[in-house]
Chains A and B, each alone.
Chain A
Amino acid sequence: MAVHTTSTAIGSGNPLAHYRRPRRSRLARNRYLAAFLLLSPALLLRLFTSVYPFFQTFYFAFSNYNPSFPPLKFTGTANFVRMWKDLAVSSSVTFTVMFVLFSTLLQLFFGILVALLLNSSFRARSLVRAVNLIPWAIPMVVAAMGFRWMFDSEYGLISDLIRSLTGLDIPWLTTSWGAKAAVIMVNVWKSTPFLALVFLAALQGLPADLLEAARVDGASRVQAFFKITLPLILSQVVTIGLFMVVWQLAAFDLIYTMTGGGPGYATSVLAYNIYQAAFGGLNFGYASAISLVLFVLVFIMAGLGLMLFRRSEVSY
């Protein structure tokens, strides 16, 4: 765009400018051109790396495409028939849903709890708040590795702690339910602080006089929480919950590094199946078909979540 006027330094504008009819710059006239110029780099990047591959997946899903055995041949619904009989996929669908629901509910619960804790006054509070950021900030790969080791039934710190406290030997990673619980626990450990952070900010934004009034009226702390605090932050709780559900449906790092889907298929999730089919077996067609199942799952969950979201917007 051409420079029309020599624009003076901002703030030292001509005092008479106020009285003249403001000259409309080309920017003002061409809002659309400006918006287009500003938005197109970001939109193009998203288009090529996300939207286009998303639709391309539908094309691959009905083919037998394998990059080492071209050419691609359309096989109709063969991939889906195969998936129907594939034990790995069916158990993954179940565990993906279970993983996401349990994780999200626990994260919301502990997130609120931790937020309440961090909102009360105690010594070194700002340091504790900084510590709260650590699980969010460290890589999932590192957390998953560390916990895998800590859950080890012989050398593991957690197993040792439980053994010395209760005398129980819990086979965390060698049994189906143990591994499922362990994976969910690590996921909750990793993401709860992020939720706590958001809820803490929400709590800090609440009007203090409301709670004060309730206390003066003789409401107990528990009553004050359920009658006042929770309804006021409910829309944030639901929004974050929805976000976590959608986001965790595609969780990959944790499962890949901590259990590799094992033992058996116990902790296998759809994202792990897709990765294995695509880059373990070079079965691009099949991987794309599983991706479609994941898309459908995301779609359903997001839809249900949005309905819930509408509900939670009733006035309090």
Chain B
Amino acid sequence: MSGTEGPARSREKGRSRAAHPAAQEPVPGNTGVPAGKPAAGMITVPHPGGHAETGTAGRAFWSGAITIGLVNVPVQLHTMVRDRSFTFRLLHKEDGQPLRYDRVCTRDDKVVPWSETVRGYEVRKGEFLVFSPEELRAVAPESDRKIRLTKFVHYLSLDPMFFGTSYLLVPDRSEDAYSLFLSAIRKSGKAGVGTITMRTKEHPVVVHAYGGGLVATTLHYPDEVTQPAAYPQLRELKAPKDAELALAQRIVDELSGDFAIGEFHDRYREAILSLIEKKLAGEKLVYAEPHPEEAKELMEALKETISTLQKK
């Protein structure tokens, strides 16, 4: 089916997640949902998401149960990883006003309200298959709030390449069962493998022990991960000469050590934060609602009057 009523494409690229109906529930991996307390001195950037940023531990965004056969361990899911990349608001250079993203129809450049949107799949350039919400709901996997584990494997046999997002599992009035399950897999060095459905996607998941708790890490599907062999440059690599290899190996040996993630700092983030502190301390602040363009000539009049009054 082609778009007989004209393209209903919206400029999805820059859409604001806040206004997206599907974003009413928190999105896994949403950077605006930190689980733990913010570190001292951290500047929290409020996100306009549906999930209020509380900055405190203890707010679950998903609760359900780990099920292994007939055994249920009720748990709550908490976000574990938060992206602390720095975000800036985009402003209009001339007047400092924050900019807003709108869904704009590509035909007449008019803003389209959410109520007038549908989902379309682009079959060919400019041609879309339109899906109604009912159609999409019918095929969406049912989220039954279960982490279904079907198998246990050695944790170290898992390929980290496939790791997606990790969530901390917290017992939901199930401390005894939780403790038992945690102790069992910790002792064996194993991890449970199964599936979890979040929002409209079913993910492979692995549940493993980490730092005194159970952690569920979603996994990517095989077709989501690029295989290096797809690249001809990599398929046709020549083997190095022995002498070169020996030299390279010596360098590797000399630089060998233990892995310590604490050695790494986000230096860009630190630089921005210190810049913010300097600006807050030393620079003039104005309200972020400066005079609009139309008031420009009033500003001119003001400058004149203020200088006249100062002379008086």
**Chains A and B bind each other:** no
Chain B positions near chain A (C-beta within 8 angstroms): none
Chain A positions near chain B (C-beta within 8 angstroms): none
